[in-house]
Amino acid sequence: MISFRPPTHTSKPEGGHPPAAPERTEERAMCQEHEDEQINIYCVTHSVPTCSMCQVFGAHKDCEVAPFKSTYQTQKTELTDGIAMMVGNNDRIQGIISQLEETCKTIEENVRRQKSQLCEKFDHLYSILEERKRDLSSKVAAEQEEKLNYIRGLTMKYKEHLELSCKTVETGIQTMEEPEMAVFLQTVKYFLKRIGEASSTSHLEMVERGYEAMDHYTVNFWREGRALHSIDFISGRKRKSW
């Protein structure tokens, strides 16, 4: 026979309060198979809690059982120990992680230091090169100055000589046009002597052959280039590969 119960009202109670949750009294877990039996023994064979009816007649009648309380205590102790061990382990792992992080920082710091040292050493090399370049360039420039001064001086002397020569020619032409024979004869001797002097350039230096050459300032940096190419760390070729 099936009994019908009237449908329960699902509308919310007045005031909007949700229905109160069932109070958690000193409830004991009850067996699903035997509704009146408390779960109060432990089946060691299946590692489950069960009831005494199950142990005597039911699913666990051939099983090894243990008192509920003592099993509870043993397993609780076991769990406590397990937790303590895990906490210890976690601490140890945390320690390793911290150490690894510390190692990262140290590596970064060491790299930073080595890099700045490297830059410093290279800058020093650059400054040596710059200094040598400046010195050598200024030697070439100094010789240029000296040579140009000499040539310019010589040019001045030749120009002065040319000017004098031109004047002599001019005066010579004037003498040619002298109509008075007596005056002409008086001055011509003097001018012929002057022409002789003016046409001679023996007192003016000649520029030496190859004076303009500057190839004695040729450089050969082959060895230095090789040395630069061989720049490496002191432990260069013996570096460990991790």
Q: How far is the CB of 66 from Zn ion (least distance, A)?
A: 11
44 vs 162, which CB is nearer to Zn ion? 44
How far is it, in rounded angstroms, from Cα 75 to Cα 69?
10
Q: How far is the CB of 78 from Zn ion (least distance, A)?
A: 20
Q: How far is the CB of 102 from Zn ion (least distance, A)?
A: 53
Are 48 and 57 spatial neighbours (Cβ–Cβ below 8 Å)? no
b/e map 28-56, b = 16+ CB within 10 Å = eeebeebeebebbbbbeeeeebbbbebbe
Report how far Cα 72 is from the mean position of its chain's Cα atoms: 62
Q: How far is the CB of 39 from Zn ion (least distance, A)?
A: 8
30 vs 156, which CB is nearer to Zn ion? 30
Q: How far is the CB of 52 from Zn ion (least distance, A)?
A: 7
* Beta strand spans in the chain (E): 39-43, 48-51, 65-67
39 vs 198, which CB is nearer to Zn ion? 39
63 vs 195, which CB is nearer to Zn ion? 63
Q: How far is the CB of 40 from Zn ion (least distance, A)?
A: 10
Contacts to Zn ion by CB under 5 A: 31, 33-34, 37, 43, 45-46, 51, 53-54, 60, 63
Specify the amino acid at residue 129.
L
Are 184 and 190 spatial neighbours (Cβ–Cβ below 8 Å)? no
> Which candidate, 178, 180, 222, 171, places its Cα nearest to that of 198?
171
54 vs 198, which CB is nearer to Zn ion? 54
Largest Cα–Cα separation, the chain: 183
30 vs 85, which CB is nearer to Zn ion? 30
